[in-house]
Amino acid sequence: MESSSDAAVSEKGSAPAAADLELIEKIRQGDQSALDLLYKRYSSPVYSLIWKILQNSEEAEDVALDVFWQVWRQADRYDPARGAPPAWIFTLARSRAIDRLRSRSRREDRTISIDDPNLHFDPLDENASPDQVVSFRQSRDAVRAAMEKLSVVQREAVELAFLKGMTHVEISEKLGLPLGTVKTRIRQGLIRLRKHLD
């Protein structure tokens, strides 16, 4: 027969799990306050887990917010048979952090800066004629001059897209802006570039 103290321990152990399940169910029904409670309960350990993977506080904050946004959007995908809510949340956090780490590695592999003084941006072989070299360098300098004509926000968006190879979604996440705003800035930046280059 279970003692009263054992029963109390058992109840204490199961209470958080039951409360978490109730919050997930309320989130499924669109209850924003339930998401807020879940966030308050788990945001700190989720952030810590992500930071251990990324070693970058800004990115860890971004990914942690993404995790809870995913919980909000995909609460109906949670399956209690596969584990308690915290296990599901930490699995999402680990997966998104690893995705971000891979994405960062891909960007770093292909990142260049048009303002890097050490960058020799002449993709011509050693047999290129003097005219070809001059023509290319004039074009390069014209692009640099045209970039200077862009607004700060347009230049930032264009550089992230075309010099750092980031997707529109990645830029949106990095800058904390709506996807439509990012697309508009890039489009307007390209229109101004074309105008100045023409």
Where do the structural domains in the chain lie, given as residue ranges?
Answer: 4-110, 130-197
pTM score, whole prediction = 0.48
Query: Which has more confidence, 58 or 106?
Result: 58
pLDDT at residue number 5: 37
pLDDT at residue number 104: 72
Q: Kindly report the CATH class assigned to 130-197.
A: mainly alpha
Query: Which has more confidence, 37 or 56?
Result: 37
pLDDT at residue number 122: 47
* Pair 72, 7: CB distance under 8 Å: no
Phi-psi region of 127 (alpha: psi -120 to 50; beta: other; left: phi over 0): alpha
* Pair 77, 23: CB distance under 8 Å: no
Count Cβ atoms below 10 Å from residue 195 Cβ, excluding itself.
10
What pLDDT, in 10s, does the model give residues 106-164? 655 544 455 555 444 444 455 656 666 666 677 777 778 878 888 888 888 888 887 77
DSSP 77: G
Q: Which of 24-38, 97-111, 184-198 has the lowest mean pLDDT?
A: 97-111
Is domain 4-110 in CATH 1.10.1740.10, yes or no?
yes
Alpha-carbon torsion (24, 27, 33, 35), positive or negative: positive
What pLDDT, in 10s, does the model give residues 1-48? 444 334 333 334 445 666 889 999 999 999 999 999 999 999 999 999
- Phi (first) and psi of residue 99, to 5 degrees: -60, -45
What pLDDT, in 10s, does the model give residues 125-140? 556 566 666 666 777 7
